[in-house]
Amino acid sequence: MINNYKMSDLGTIIAAIGGIVIVFLILGWIIASVPVYLAAKLFGSDASFLRAMGAVLLSGIVAVIIIIIFAFISAAYGIVLIILGLVVAFIAVLGVYKSMLNVGWGAAFGIIIVSIIIGFIFNLILSLFGIGIFHLLGSSQLQSFISPLFNLTNISQGFNLG
């Protein structure tokens, strides 16, 4: 049986996948902010959860921009600049945490380390209940959900543009 799709069907599929991606990005942002917030409270910060969310978002944006800049520069001048870019990005993330969470440099470093540990423990606990990231990486349910989304047999049979 040949499936003929209209362009409106393709637009609906793209919009649905885009919506799912946006929802997962927002959920990931919120989930990633929880360990940072808890670690900030552990180090005596008076920052709110929204400030922790802002710090996570801004630090991610700043780090990506710095790494991209150093990656382009390193293409011309050598690989040593990539390592320098990672160091500069880490210092920039420390600066973002320092300013947004109202802590010192040492506490900002501690927040990063403790939030990584808290995130790892959260994932470990959730994986015991079957909903953590460690479970999802090898999950046949996840693969059975994703594989139809990227099934190229339907696309290769053609679209009805009418």
Tokens 């799709």, residue located: 5
Query: Over 80: is that where the pLDDT of 32 sits?
Result: yes
Mean of pLDDT values over 101-112 = 93
Q: How far apart are CA 102 and CA 90, in angstroms?
A: 18
Which two three-digit tokens encode residue 111?
A: 């927040």
Extents of the domains making up the chain: 7-149
- The pLDDT of residue 57 is 93
Mean of pLDDT values over 124-144 = 59
Mean of pLDDT values over 18-29 = 87
What confidence tier does 64 reach under pLDDT thresholds 50, 70, 90? very high
77-91 pLDDT, tens digit per residue, is 777 888 888 999 999
- The pLDDT of residue 142 is 44
- The pLDDT of residue 100 is 93
Residue 100, CA distances (Å) to 61, 135, 136, 138, 146 in order: 14, 33, 32, 37, 37
| Mean pLDDT for all residues in the chain | 79
Please give the residue that has the higher pLDDT: either 152 or 92.
Answer: 92
Mean of pLDDT values over 49-68 = 93
pTM passes above 0.75? no
33-53 pLDDT, tens digit per residue, is 999 999 999 998 888 999 999
- The pLDDT of residue 143 is 45
- The pLDDT of residue 8 is 63
Residue type (1 letter), 51: R
- The pLDDT of residue 145 is 45
- The pLDDT of residue 97 is 94
Q: What share of the chain is helix, strand, coil (3-state, %, to 5)?
A: 80, 0, 20
